[in-house]
Every structure is written in structure tokens, then in C-alpha cells.
Structure 1
Amino acid sequence: MNAGAPLEQPHTCEVTLRANDFDWAGHLNNSVYVQLLESGRWEWGLACGVDLRESTLVAVVLQLHLDYLRPVEWNPVGRLRVRTSLAERSAYSFTLAQDVERLDGTVVASGRVRLGLVDRDTQRIHRANLEAMLGTPGAPATPSPRARTAPPTRTANEPPTGTPTVTPKAAPVGDPTHPRTPDVAAAASATPVTPAIPANPEPAASATPERVG
């Protein structure tokens, strides 16, 4: 598939109306104009070589401004023309200028639509680099540089990444302001000492009081 027409070149297509597109007053319903603009955007994209029908990217409407200029009278098999052109672009959005016209060239509605690209699977915004998508239908979306990555997995006893590990210093011996902490490992492995018993122990003092008189 070739790249198609330049993105800046205006594109025009015709859209067939349906009987239920009109309201009880016999005028084209105001909500149908929005659908006509959407059809025109799809035709503009395909003509430029940007095909998102099988891509993970979805074009979402960020802002819509529409001016209703003239009514369209009831005609169940009528046709209208939608003219679309690229008006503005930024890193993460682009704006299209769109007009709805009668076949004689009379403009009946004029609007501007700002759109962004979102990855359908991750729901993250994607760079609006239209040139990168030219002639690549169904191309998978590349992650946005602004997208947050998942934190790395770690075990229960492993300190989190970026957290300094502090090793306690041994207290200096003989310093009264820093009492020495007992060595738990040495105390656990030490052999218990049995106290020495004297050969001729002195009799214990009697607990019974002496009688007087």
C-alpha cells in the first residue's frame, strides 16, 4: 500500500443520507452532522494511507466545535459532501478542519475536531506521529515514552530498588556514651559455666529467732 495523498492536502468525499437521518421537522438531525464528520475523517485517513482498522491504535475525539450554518431539507436518498483537511498538529494530538457541503458547494456546517491516539489494549496515549503510520495498515502500537513502566518484582526480604542498605556499626568498647550491645550469636554459642561450690560450706543462718530469758 502506498503512502497515499499528502496529509496537508484537503480531501473530499460524498456520504449518502438515510431516511431516518431527518427529524420530525423535515431537517437533517443535528446529531447526524457529527456522524458525517466521522465518515469524512475515515475517508481522509484512508486516502492519506493511514489505516487504523486493524491497529491497536484508536483515534479519540478530544475536542469538537461545530457551527450549523444552513438546514438540510428532507431527502431520503440525498447526498452531502464532507471536506477534510489537516489544520494543526502537536506531539500528542492533531486537529482537522471539516466542512459539510451540499453538492453545489454550499457549506451547511463547519467544524474543527481535535483528536488523539490511544492504545486500545493499554489505554495509554500514543504519539500522534502520522507520518510513521503512512502505508502501514494494522501496525502494532509502540509504547509511548511518557508511559509508566511497571515496577520490577522483588522478593519479600529484598530491599526496594534505590533504597540504600544501612549496616549498623559496632559500638566502641569503653565508651560510656555508646553502651556495647551484646553479641547475640556469640552468646548463643557460648558454653554455660557451672558456678563453683565451696568444700565446706558455712551453715546457713537460722531463720528462727532466739528466745530471750
Structure 2
Amino acid sequence: MTAKKLVHATRMAIRWGDMDAMGHVNNTVYFRYLEQARIEWFTEIGCDPDPNGEGPVIINARCTFIKQLKYPGEIEVLTYVGGPGRSSFEMYHEIRRTDMQEVLSAEGGAKVVWVNFPSEKSVPLPEEIRALLPDV
């Protein structure tokens, strides 16, 4: 079992425009929800990308769709992080309806790699980021 640590929670309204012709939230919008939660956490910890320095880049993203989301409603996205590698760590997310007994609607995540943007190469995770991650 991978060690995970809850680091962020955010709530978002399901918008009318999030739905598609099938009458439910389009699958691509789930990735936007995950992105918003990820960026909020990065901002919260003072990790805004610097094109002339270093910062996080995701190298993959995944989502398992469990239950359809429909407008109107509200979701909560819980963000967890896994243990550190040399230059990377995993992020995990849960999307839950908050207005319907907190139904789990999706699970997803992304692998984050710390990159030197000018050289376009991975670099070791900074100690301040490593300190936020669970021990492996």
C-alpha cells in the first residue's frame, strides 16, 4: 500500500457549461477539476512555476469515473500526495459530491516531476517540497 497524505481540500460548483450533450459532466472537465485542485495546492505552498527557474510539471494524468456528475451540484476535491522519489512524487485525488451524502464520483491523480525549466531536465526535489510529502 502506498503511503498517502491529505494536503488539500477544495470545493467547486458544478457549472451548467460543464455538461455535455449526454446530460452529465463531460469527462474532460474532471481533469479540469483535478488541475484546479493541484494548482490551488501548489499556490498554497508557494510553488508558483518560474519559467526561469524550477518547478512542477505533470508527466501523466489519470481519472477513473465512478459515478456521473450532473448540474446543479457541488463537489469537493481531496488532494493527497505520495512519498518522494529523487525528482518526483505522485498526487492522488478524490472527487466527491457534497450535496448528495458525499458520493465518490471519481478518483484520479498525476505524477509530478520537478524540472529546471531552462534546461528542460528533471532535478532533485527541493527539501521544502520533500518535507511536505509522507515518509516512504
TM-score (norm: length of structure 2): 0.77
The answer as to 2:26 corresponding to 1:29 is: yes
Q: 1:8 to 1:19 in 2, by over 3 A?
A: same
Alignment partners' CA distance in 2, 1:25 and 1:123: 40
Structure-2 residue corresponding to 1:81: 76
* Aligned with residue 56 of structure 2, among 43, 59, 63: 59
CA contact (8 A) 1:27 1:72 kept: yes
The answer as to 2:105 corresponding to 1:113 is: no
The answer as to 2:90 corresponding to 1:95 is: yes
Alignment partners' CA distance in 2, 1:124 and 1:90: 15
The answer as to 2:46 corresponding to 1:69 is: no
Quick one: percent identity of the two aligned structures?
A: 21
TM-score (norm: length of structure 1): 0.52
Deviations 1:64-122 (Å, cap 9, x if unpaired)? 232100001132xx331110011232011100111111113211000131111222222
Deviations 1:24-68 (Å, cap 9, x if unpaired)? 011000001111111111222233x23214463342222323210
Alignment partners' CA distance in 1, 2:128 and 2:104: 30
Structure-1 residue corresponding to 2:134: none
Q: 1:63 to 1:88 in 2, by over 3 A?
A: farther
Alignment partners' CA distance in 1, 2:86 and 2:130: 14
Deviations 1:111-142 (Å, cap 9, x if unpaired)? 131111222222121222351598xxxxxxxx
Q: In angstroms, what is the RMSD of aligned CA positions? A: 2.4
Alignment partners' CA distance in 2, 1:50 and 1:116: 16
Stretches (4+) displaced over 6 A: none
**Runs of 5+ unmatched residues, structure 2:** 132-136
Q: 1:31 to 1:91 in 2, by over 3 A?
A: same
CA contact (8 A) 1:86 1:96 kept: yes
Structure-2 residue corresponding to 1:38: 35
Q: Whose RCO is larger (CA < 8 A, sep 6+)?
A: 2
Alignment partners' CA distance in 1, 2:129 and 2:70: 42
Count of aligned pairs between the two proteins? 125
- Give the secondary-structure state (helix, strand or coil) at the position aligned to 2:102: coil
- Listed as ranges, the matches of 1:1-213 within 5 Å are 8-47=5-44, 49-54=45-50, 56-75=53-72, 78-103=73-98, 104-129=101-126, 131=128
Higher strand share: 2
